[in-house]
């Protein structure tokens, strides 16, 4: 007999975080972070730890404490975090009946581009002020770790910033953006369906061009918020490893009207690219019970185990959504506690190192290194035949993942 559940239940009001509602949730988390001592794990000093999806300090809110969030990250043991900008924030609202985030109106021409650019520019300034370097390559992350500071990875949640001009993707890349999620909550996106809708066939022709441009530039593709059909088409167009950073993972036979879920075949598409499945921190109590867990901590750790058992530890990563959701892992001060709980769950240190950052480091190195090589090659081979360029590209495609993996292993070994 199938199980079903409707809605998110007792979770944080994400609309309030996105576009400025109650400050209680953020104050509570910040208060907890300030009140509890930071437990340090010597093992974490020897590995790279990365969160693939986060919103430090809920920075798009006037009441957001970005400086405080960045200082707390610096005081902890996280190696790199994503500074993710939800580009469709200005056009979203929360439905009063369902409590879900919905599109309130169509964006004005250029509105989401201006919003994204302004917030990325602000993020660059805030990280510079905090002494946090921006990571554009694998080596940037490792160098920051060696220097004793975390690195920030600029990310965009929602591709609406490029709805008017595809060239905007390259402009954001030039600012340092290295992770993009083409779909968020924007119902007016020309690139594809948000989860819960199926009018556009998952990914449109424009969406395919968007994804291919990301691959050309060396931007990591995050397929969160895409439908299963959209993920399949995007993976085909991208032709490389992708990330599904944050979602609820369901078993077959489970039913829900909540769209932010992935059944096994959905997640398998991502794993089959050589990609990564993120463990989300969001844990409404109704979902904890529905999925058969006893607590928020049990759900968080249990998701690691389920994904590792089903797809292998090489396909698991962190995608907490810190700053926008609440669950058990609400602050990076808990990183040592997380490593301890993963050990208690039966993982060894090598497996923990992979899931908490090593897997992301290799994927990030694969995508960003290939781009650097392609740009260098283009500048050095001006005037060569198109056929020669294509042959170089094919050689680079074949060697890129292996080379990035070797470089990641080597650079990580130099930290300890």
Indicate which CATH number applies to the domain containing 373: 3.20.20.140
Angle at alpha carbon of residue 53, lines to 348 and 214, rounded to 5°: 110
| Domain of residue 318, residue span | 3-413
pLDDT for residue 68:
87
Per-residue pLDDT band for 97 (boundaries 50, 70, 90) equals: confident
pLDDT for residue 83:
95
Per-residue pLDDT band for 170 (boundaries 50, 70, 90) equals: very high
Nearest-CA neighbor of 225 among 290, 322, 159?
159
Average pLDDT over residues 349-360: 98
Least confident of 13-17, 234-238, 245-249, 342-346: 13-17
pLDDT for residue 411:
58
Structure tokens given for 279: 């463990």
In this structure, is the dihedral angle defined by the CA atoms of residues 173, 19, 194 and 190, taken in order, positive or negative?
negative
Report the Cα–Cα distance between both ends of the chain, in Å, rounded: 51
Per-residue pLDDT band for 34 (boundaries 50, 70, 90) equals: very low
Neighbour-count burial of 216, counting CB atoms closer than 10 A to its CB (0-12 exposed, 13-18 middle, 19+ buried):
middle
Residues 8-23: tens digit of each pLDDT: 333 333 333 233 332 2
- In angstroms, rounded to a whole number, what is the distance separating the alpha carbons of residues 188 and 373? 36
Per-residue pLDDT band for 412 (boundaries 50, 70, 90) equals: low
Count up the domains in the chain and report the number. Answer: 1
Report whether 178 contacts 219 (CB < 8 A).
Answer: yes
Structure tokens given for 21: 């509602």
Per-residue pLDDT band for 382 (boundaries 50, 70, 90) equals: very low
pLDDT for residue 335:
96
Q: What percent of the chain has pLDDT over 90?
A: 61
Residues 145-156: tens digit of each pLDDT: 999 999 999 999
Least confident of 68-77, 133-142, 317-326, 390-399: 390-399
Per-residue pLDDT band for 284 (boundaries 50, 70, 90) equals: confident
pLDDT for residue 27:
28
- Mean pLDDT in the chain? 83
Average pLDDT over residues 350-366: 97
Q: Percentages helix, strand, coil for the chain, rounded to the nearest 5?
A: 50, 15, 35
Contacts of 186-189 with C-beta under 8 Å, sequence gap 24+, read 186/87, 186/88, 186/91, 186/92, 186/103, 186/107, 186/112, 186/158, 186/160, 187/102, 187/103, 188/91, 188/103, 188/106, 188/107, 188/160, 188/163, 189/158, 189/159, 189/160, 189/163
pLDDT greater than 70 at residue 378: no
pLDDT for residue 263:
86
The residue that leads in pLDDT, 202 or 413, is 202
> What is Dmax (Cα atoms) for the chain?
65
Average pLDDT over residues 382-407: 48
pLDDT for residue 319:
97
Average pLDDT over residues 207-235: 97
Per-residue pLDDT band for 399 (boundaries 50, 70, 90) equals: low
Residues 177-187: tens digit of each pLDDT: 999 999 998 88
Per-residue pLDDT band for 260 (boundaries 50, 70, 90) equals: confident
pLDDT for residue 413:
54
- In angstroms, rounded to a whole number, what is the distance separating the alpha carbons of residues 330 and 282? 9
Q: How far from 122 is each of 59, 160, 180, 184, 336, CA to CA, in Å?
A: 9, 19, 18, 21, 30
Report whether 77 contacts 335 (CB < 8 A).
Answer: yes
pLDDT greater than 90 at residue 79: yes
pLDDT for residue 394:
44
């Amino acid at each position: 007999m199938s199980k079903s559940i409707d809605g998110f239940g007792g979770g944080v009001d994400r609309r309030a975080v996105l576009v400025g509602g109650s400050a209680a949730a953020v104050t509570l988390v910040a208060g907890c972070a300030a009140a509890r001592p930071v437990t340090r794990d010597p093992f974490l000093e020897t590995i790279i730890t990365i969160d693939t999806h986060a919103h430090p300090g809920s920075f798009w809110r006037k009441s957001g404490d970005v400086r405080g969030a960045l200082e707390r990250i610096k005081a902890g043991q996280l190696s790199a975090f994503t500074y993710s900008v939800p580009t469709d924030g200005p056009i979203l609202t929360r439905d009063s009946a369902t409590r879900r985030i919905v599109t309130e109106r169509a964006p004005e021409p250029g509105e989401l581009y201006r919003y994204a650019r302004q917030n990325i520019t602000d993020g660059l300034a805030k990280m510079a002020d905090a002494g946090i370097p921006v990571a554009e390559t694998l080596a940037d992350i490792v160098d920051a770790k060696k220097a004793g500071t975390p690195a920030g990875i600029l990310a965009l949640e929602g591709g609406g910033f490029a709805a008017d001009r595809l060239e905007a993707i390259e402009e954001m890349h030039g600012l340092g953006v290295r992770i993009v999620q083409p779909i968020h909550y924007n119902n007016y996106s020309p690139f594809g369906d948000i989860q819960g809708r199926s009018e556009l066939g998952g990914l449109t022709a424009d969406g395919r061009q968007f994804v291919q441009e990301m691959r050309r530039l060396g931007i990591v593709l995050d397929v969160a918020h895409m439908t299963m059909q959209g993920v399949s088409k995007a993976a085909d167009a991208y032709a490389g490893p992708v990330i599904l950073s944050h979602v609820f993972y369901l078993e077959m036979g489970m039913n829900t009207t909540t769209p932010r879920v992935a059944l096994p075949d959905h997640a398998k598409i991502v794993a089959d690219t050589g990609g990564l499945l993120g463990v989300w921190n969001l844990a409404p109590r109704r979902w904890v019970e529905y999925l058969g867990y006893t607590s928020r901590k049990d759900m968080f750790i249990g998701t690691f185990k389920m994904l590792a058992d089903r797809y292998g530890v090489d396909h698991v990563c962190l995608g907490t959504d810190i700053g926008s959701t609440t669950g058990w892992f609400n602050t990076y001060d808990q990183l040592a506690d997380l490593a301890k709980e993963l050990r208690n769950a039966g993982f060894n240190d090598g497996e923990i190192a992979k899931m908490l950052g090593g897997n992301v480091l290799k994927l990030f190195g694969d995508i960003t290194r290939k781009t650097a090589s392609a740009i260098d090659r283009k500048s050095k081979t001006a005037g060569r035949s198109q056929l020669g360029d294509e042959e170089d590209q094919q050689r680079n495609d074949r060697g890129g993942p292996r080379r990035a993996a070797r470089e990641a292993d080597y650079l990580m070994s130099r930290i300890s």
